[in-house]
């Protein structure tokens, strides 16, 4: 699996958009970009994933650059409950493949 690089930490004001970047310059053509988050000591929670098109669901939007070497997770209106560690993971599509967690970004949402 390709390696990803994320900032160690970020802050965001409540109600504002949180934009979390991820670099995955060695991504292969058949690898997807997945985002998970982990709220303190809870199990990681799936947020969104994509291959090359931008994706949106009820939780977030995923913007993938045209060359697929980087992506941005957008939480449109951050709340205090969005404070968590956010993991960007690159993985071949397929349902038996493990997830490899990198360091992640610790997002702190403040009032």
Partner 1 sequence: AAGVIQSPRHLIKEKRETATLKCYPIPRHDTVYWYQQGPGQDPQFLISFYEKMQSDKGSIPDRFSAQQFSDYHSELNMSSLELGDSALYFCASSSTHPQGTHEGYTFGSGTRLTVV
**One-character DSSP codes across 32-95:** EEEEEEE-TTSPPEEEEEESSS-EE-SS-EEEE-TTSSEEEEEETT--GGG-EEEEEEEEES-T
- Residue 74 to residue 19: CA distance in whole angstroms: 5
67 backbone dihedrals φ, ψ, rounded to 5°: -85, 0
DSSP label of 8: S
**Shortest distance (Å) from residue 14 CB to partner 1:** 26
At its nearest, how many Å lie between partner 1 and the CB of residue 56? 12
Among the listed ranges 16-24, 61-69, 76-84, 97-105, the one in contact with partner 1 (CB under 8 A) is 97-105
**Residue 25 beta carbon to partner 1: minimum distance, rounded to whole angstroms:** 20
Using CB under 8 A as the binding rule, the residues of this chain from 9 to 68 that contact partner 1 are 38, 41-46, 49
Among 29, 53, 81, 96, binds partner 1 (CB under 8 A): 96
Binding residues for partner 1 (CB under 8 A): 38, 41-46, 49, 85, 87, 93, 95-104
């Amino acid at each position: 699996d390709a390696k990803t690089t994320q900032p160690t930490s970020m802050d965001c004001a409540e109600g504002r958009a949180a934009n979390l970047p991820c670099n995955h310059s060695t991504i292969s053509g058949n690898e997807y970009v997945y985002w998970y988050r982990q709220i303190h000591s809870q199990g990681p929670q799936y947020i969104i994933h994509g291959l090359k098109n931008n994706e949106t669901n009820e939780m977030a939007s995923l913007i993938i650059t045209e060359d697929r070497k980087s992506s941005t997770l957008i939480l449109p209106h951050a709340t205090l409950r969005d404070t968590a560690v956010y993991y960007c993971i690159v993985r071949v599509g397929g349902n038996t493949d493990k997830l490899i967690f990198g360091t992640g970004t610790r997002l702190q949402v403040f009032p």
